[in-house]
Chains A and B, each alone.
Chain A
């Protein structure tokens, strides 16, 4: 779907901007909102580039930076941290050989932190794109990465 087609699903009013940006980002193979799209959204809403850029940079689910196919978002809120999200982080960064905020060389995985994901009874948790994985440990991280790699091919 082109960006213009996505935009035209929404009435051209400012209150629809988050919906548009969510859709544009999900539609982009790099999981981001590039400059050309920002310009297009601004034009469609009859507003400035800065206004759209300002919205994107405020919200942590939206980004202008290209990312991998799978966004791994690890919860670092109090409960997950208490139960062991930093151990999970170690497994992730060791296995993928990246730091938080980075993308693997094969453009498959990006590791990010997230605040509370509302699954505290099954801590520690992480999300991969829009799916939640609970009670994570080294073994489960290993399996998850293997199966994601397999699915990507």
Chain B
């Protein structure tokens, strides 16, 4: 059986997340120590060489993001910001919560190294308001870091200060999208911005900004400490490293596992004790609501950003929702479509009207005869494709993912 490989969760469950001393004793802040003695541009290079891809869902190369931000910075003008996206709201996903609750200092270390790399003096962690336990742990971690001099004036060396602030979201899924997050941080309604310009050029308050997900930051200290070559030994060629998969639904022991990229769905289910009550596997929803349904054809496919793409599936945030043969794909679909309708911000027409229209079409479909349902599903797919092509932000381009994958893998049920 495959073993777990832990990078982001290396300390999880082993140390007291409320104690900076325990973090230090377990080898904490070694990556930061090393980073303070290398050139900032080399830090970005190492992250880039390691092939680290953003763990928030899109899988954008983290090193490239760093380089764009670095290029956009003119060294003598204005502040630059570092932001951690902890607005985890994708249904089925709770990897960031686990990191923040079990090893908040690792996140702060990753942020400190990234702050060094772009010379940011101010950082924010934008966390969703519902994560009260994570907020409690992070608040304590930030306080302790200030007391020990890991944050604050000259914490990164002479004339290199870094201030870190915790900011709370207020129950909007869309604010997890990076440009919308910036709007929310600036105190506005969470409407997405048109891009370009990207945050690297014009981010928070119009300044160059580097935004990464919690899990992405949690990989940075390891890469700097052990070197990119060592990091690349884990995972697949195009998706190096490890990934936290949050498994829920009809498995025996639902929970989270951190394994190398390239693990198969079957192995993940096995790590979670197999199917609950030995009922047969029917489907899995990978990546949450903005994710894809797959059937048993994909059980053996290595889970990586590119390998799943070949199967018209996505890895997304690492959510794995397992369904047995007694579950209905219709119920899941309804829940997802309601979700999109509720979370659409209403700024752009294709998404505002489209998410509503999809739900209406769904309700018409369920009352139809088999065969007619398949035709309606195709219509819904067309509508979702139209939305994807014309919406401003990723929310409008998301419904095509579940609908398209249902049409590909579960057509015989319609």
Residue of A nearest to B96 (CB): A118
Instruction: Choose from A15, A60, A73 the contact partner of B172 (Cβ within 8 Å).
Output: A60
Q: A59-B170, A116-B89, A121-B247 are in contact. Are A78 and B94 (CB under 8 A)?
A: no
Q: Cβ of A106 < 8 Å from any Cβ of B?
A: no
Q: A78-B285, A127-B130 are in contact. Are A120 and B92 (CB under 8 A)?
A: yes
As a 0/1 sequence over residues 112 to 148 of chain A, the CB contacts with chain B under 8 angstroms (1 = contact) are 0011111111110001001110000000000000000
As a 0/1 sequence over residues 56 to 68 of chain A, the CB contacts with chain B under 8 angstroms (1 = contact) are 0011111000000
Residue of A nearest to B191 (CB): A58
> How many residues of B are in contact with the other chain, CB < 8 A?
51
CA distance in complex: A55, B132 (Å): 21
Is B170 within 8 A of A22, CB to CB?
yes
CB-CB < 8 A to A100: which residues of B? none
Q: A18-B184, A58-B190, A132-B132 are in contact. Are A79 and B92 (CB under 8 A)?
A: yes
Chain A nearest CB, measured from B269 CB (Å) = 14
Is A123 within 8 A of B130, CB to CB?
no
Instruction: Choose from B97, B255, B327, B343 the contact partner of A115 (Cβ within 8 Å).
Output: B343
CA distance in complex: A61, B131 (Å): 12
As a 0/1 sequence over residues 18 to 46 of chain A, the CB contacts with chain B under 8 angstroms (1 = contact) are 11011000000000000000000000000
Chain B nearest CB, measured from A12 CB (Å) = 11
Chain A nearest CB, measured from B294 CB (Å) = 15
CB-CB < 8 A to A15: which residues of B? 185-187, 205
Q: Cβ of B102 < 8 Å from any Cβ of A?
A: no
Chain A nearest CB, measured from B406 CB (Å) = 13
Is B94 within 8 A of A61, CB to CB?
no
CA distance in complex: A60, B338 (Å): 15
As a 0/1 sequence over residues 71 to 105 of chain A, the CB contacts with chain B under 8 angstroms (1 = contact) are 00100111101110000000000000000000000
CA distance in complex: A119, B133 (Å): 12
CB-CB < 8 A to A19: which residues of B? 167-168
Instruction: Choose from B170, B188, B205, B339 the contact partner of A77 (Cβ within 8 Å).
Output: B339
Count chain B CB atoms within 10 A of each CB in A21, A59, A114, A118 and give the residue with the most: A118
Is A55 within 8 A of B189, CB to CB?
yes
Q: A55-B189, A127-B130, A130-B132 are in contact. Are A120 and B335 (CB under 8 A)?
A: no
Q: A14-B187, A78-B285 are in contact. Are A116 and B90 (CB under 8 A)?
A: yes
Is B185 within 8 A of A78, CB to CB?
no
CA distance in complex: A65, B264 (Å): 48
CA distance in complex: A60, B336 (Å): 18
Is A78 within 8 A of B289, CB to CB?
yes
Q: A82-B249, A132-B133 are in contact. Are A59 and B91 (CB under 8 A)?
A: no
Q: Cβ of A16 < 8 Å from any Cβ of B?
A: yes
Is B169 within 8 A of A79, CB to CB?
no
Q: A114-B130, A120-B246, A120-B248 are in contact. Are A55 and B327 (CB under 8 A)?
A: no
Number of A-B contacts (CB under 8 A): 126
CA distance in complex: A132, B188 (Å): 28
Instruction: Choose from A62, A73, A81, A130 the contact partner of B335 (Cβ within 8 Å).
Output: A81
Is B335 within 8 A of A76, CB to CB?
yes
CA distance in complex: A55, B167 (Å): 15
Is A58 within 8 A of B339, CB to CB?
no
Residue of B nearest to A127 (CB): B130
CA distance in complex: A137, B242 (Å): 35
Is B323 within 8 A of A82, CB to CB?
yes
CB-CB < 8 A to B246: which residues of A? 120-121
Is B89 within 8 A of A115, CB to CB?
yes
CB-CB < 8 A to A117: which residues of B? 130
CA distance in complex: A73, B249 (Å): 21
Q: Using a CB-CB cutoff of 8 Å, which residues 195-210 of chain B contact chain A? A: 205
Q: Cβ of A7 < 8 Å from any Cβ of B?
A: no
Q: A78-B321, A115-B339, A132-B133 are in contact. Are A120 and B254 (CB under 8 A)?
A: yes
CA distance in complex: A117, B185 (Å): 21
Count chain A CB atoms within 10 A of each CB in B94, B167, B256, B336 and give the residue with the most: B94
Known: A15-B205, A61-B170. 4 other contacts (CB 8 A): A77-B289, A77-B339, A115-B343, A120-B94
What are 23 A-B contacts defined by CB distance under 8 Å?
A14-B188, A18-B184, A18-B187, A19-B168, A21-B170, A55-B188, A58-B189, A62-B171, A73-B130, A77-B289, A78-B339, A79-B92, A79-B321, A82-B335, A83-B249, A114-B171, A115-B91, A115-B339, A118-B88, A121-B248, A121-B255, A123-B248, A131-B132
